[in-house]
Amino acid sequence: MKQPIQGFSKLSKEEKIDWLTQTYFNDAKAAKETLKTYWHNDATLQKLHDEFIENTISNFFLPIGIAPNFLINEKLYSIPMAIEESSVVAAASKAAKFWLNRGGFKTEILGTEKIGQVHFMYHGDVEKLKKYFQIVMPKLMHSVSEITTNMEKRGGGVTGITLKDKTDKLANYYQLHCTFETLDAMGANFINSCLEGFAKTFKEEALHFSEFSEEEKHIQIVMSILSNYVPNCVVRATVSCPVEDLNEDKDISPQEFAEKFVRAVNIAKIEPYRAVTHNKGIMNGIDAVVLATGNDFRAIEAAAHAYAAKNGSYASLTHATIENNIFKFWIEIPLAMGTVGGLTKLHPMVKIALEMLENPNAKQLMEITAVAGLAQNFGAVRSLITSGIQKGHMKMHLLNILNQLGATEEEKKYFVNYFKDKTATHSNVVAEFEKLRSNS
Ligand code: MEV
pLDDT at 389: 76
Distance 21 CA to ligand 1 centre (A): 37
Are 223 and 237 within one domain?
A: no
Backbone phi and psi for residue 267, each to the nearest 5 degrees, phi listed first: -60, -45
Residue 34: is its pLDDT beyond 90? yes
Q: Average pLDDT over the chain, rounded to whole?
A: 96
Confidence band for 248, pLDDT divided at 50, 70 and 90? confident
In a domain, 306, yes or no: yes
Question: From atom 10 of ligand 1, which residue's Cα is the shortest distance away?
Answer: 380
Distance 277 CA to ligand 1 centre (A): 6
Are 172 and 283 within one domain?
A: no
Are 256 and 321 within one domain?
A: yes
One DSSP character per residue, 239-266 reads EEEEGGG----TTS-HHHHHHHHHHHHH
In a domain, 3, yes or no: no
Model confidence, pTM: 0.91
Confidence band for 343, pLDDT divided at 50, 70 and 90? confident
pLDDT tens for 368-384 read 999 999 999 999 999 99
Residue 295 Cβ inside 6 Å of ligand 1? The answer reads: no
pLDDT at 12: 97
Residue 249: is its pLDDT beyond 80? no
In 83-191, beta strands by DSSP E: 106-109, 114-121, 157-165, 173-181
**Domains: count for the chain:** 4
Report how far residue 105's alpha carbon sits from residue 107's, in angstroms, rounded to the nearest whole number.
7
In a domain, 59, yes or no: no
Residue 355: is its pLDDT beyond 90? yes
The mean-pLDDT minimum among 120-124, 173-177, 347-351, 412-416 falls in 412-416
Closest CA to 106 of 303, 328, 262: 328
Residue 345: is its pLDDT beyond 90? no
Report how far residue 202's alpha carbon sits from residue 371's, in angstroms, rounded to the nearest whole number.
42
Are 340 and 410 within one domain?
A: no
Closest CA to 336 of 158, 191, 152: 191
Cβ atoms of residues 331 and 236 within 8 Å: yes
Report how far residue 37's alpha carbon sits from residue 69's, in angstroms, rounded to the nearest whole number.
35
pLDDT tens for 95-105 read 999 999 999 99
Are 304 and 345 within one domain?
A: yes
What share of the chain in percent tops pLDDT 90?
90
pLDDT at 109: 98
pLDDT at 387: 81
Are 82 and 192 within one domain?
A: no
Are 99 and 125 within one domain?
A: no
In a domain, 56, yes or no: no
Report how far residue 255's alpha carbon sits from residue 36's, in angstroms, rounded to the nearest whole number.
56
Distance 137 CA to ligand 1 centre (A): 48
Question: From atom 9 of ligand 1, which residue's Cα is the shortest distance away?
Answer: 278
pLDDT at 250: 75
Distance 70 CA to ligand 1 centre (A): 21
pLDDT tens for 419-438 read 888 878 889 999 999 999 99
In a domain, 343, yes or no: yes
Report how far residue 111's alpha carbon sits from residue 290's, in angstroms, rounded to the nearest whole number.
19
- What's the average model confidence in pLDDT over 326-341? 97
Task: For residue 128, give its domain range.
Answer: 114-227
Are 214 and 278 within one domain?
A: no
The C-alpha torsion from 108 through 110 and 113 to 117, rounded to 10°, is -130
Mutate to test the pocket of ligand 1, among 94, 277, 287, 391 (most ligand atoms within 8 A of CB): 277
Are 245 and 343 within one domain?
A: yes
Closest CA to 224 of 362, 147, 116, 326: 116
pLDDT tens for 288-306 read 999 999 999 999 999 999 9
Distance 413 CA to ligand 1 centre (A): 27
Confidence band for 144, pLDDT divided at 50, 70 and 90? very high
Ramachandran category for residue 349: left, alpha or beta (phi over 0 → left; psi -120 to 50 → alpha): alpha
The CATH number given to whatever domain includes residue 245 is 3.90.770.10
Cβ atoms of residues 284 and 297 within 8 Å: no
In a domain, 55, yes or no: no
In a domain, 304, yes or no: yes
Taken in order 50, 52, 57, 60, is the CA torsion positive or negative? negative
In 289-439, beta strands by DSSP E: 318-323, 326-334
Are 254 and 378 within one domain?
A: yes
Are 191 and 127 within one domain?
A: yes
Report how far residue 411's alpha carbon sits from residue 414's, in angstroms, rounded to the nearest whole number.
5
pLDDT at 247: 81
Segment 174-178 long-range contacts (CB within 8 Å, at least 24 positions apart): 174/120, 174/121, 174/122, 174/129, 175/117, 175/118, 175/119, 175/120, 176/117, 176/118, 176/120, 176/133, 176/140, 176/202, 177/115, 177/117, 178/115, 178/116, 178/117, 178/118
Mutate to test the pocket of ligand 1, among 265, 284, 329 (most ligand atoms within 8 A of CB): 284
Question: From atom 2 of ligand 1, which residue's Cα is the shortest distance away?
Answer: 281
Single residue among 192, 227, 262 that ends a domain in this structure: 227
pLDDT tens for 181-196 read 999 999 999 999 999 9
- Helices 272-292 and 362-385: angle between axes, nearest 10 degrees: 140
Residue 197 Cβ inside 6 Å of ligand 1? The answer reads: no
The CATH number given to whatever domain includes residue 194 is 3.30.70.420
pLDDT tens for 200-238 read 999 999 999 999 999 999 999 999 999 999 999 999 999
Report how far residue 372's alpha carbon sits from residue 63's, in angstroms, rounded to the nearest whole number.
17
In a domain, 286, yes or no: yes
Are 254 and 269 within one domain?
A: yes
Closest CA to 243 of 230, 257, 232, 229: 257
- Active site (catalytic) residues: 85, 280, 296, 393
pLDDT at 425: 86
Report how far residue 111's alpha carbon sits from residue 41's, in angstroms, rounded to the nearest whole number.
44
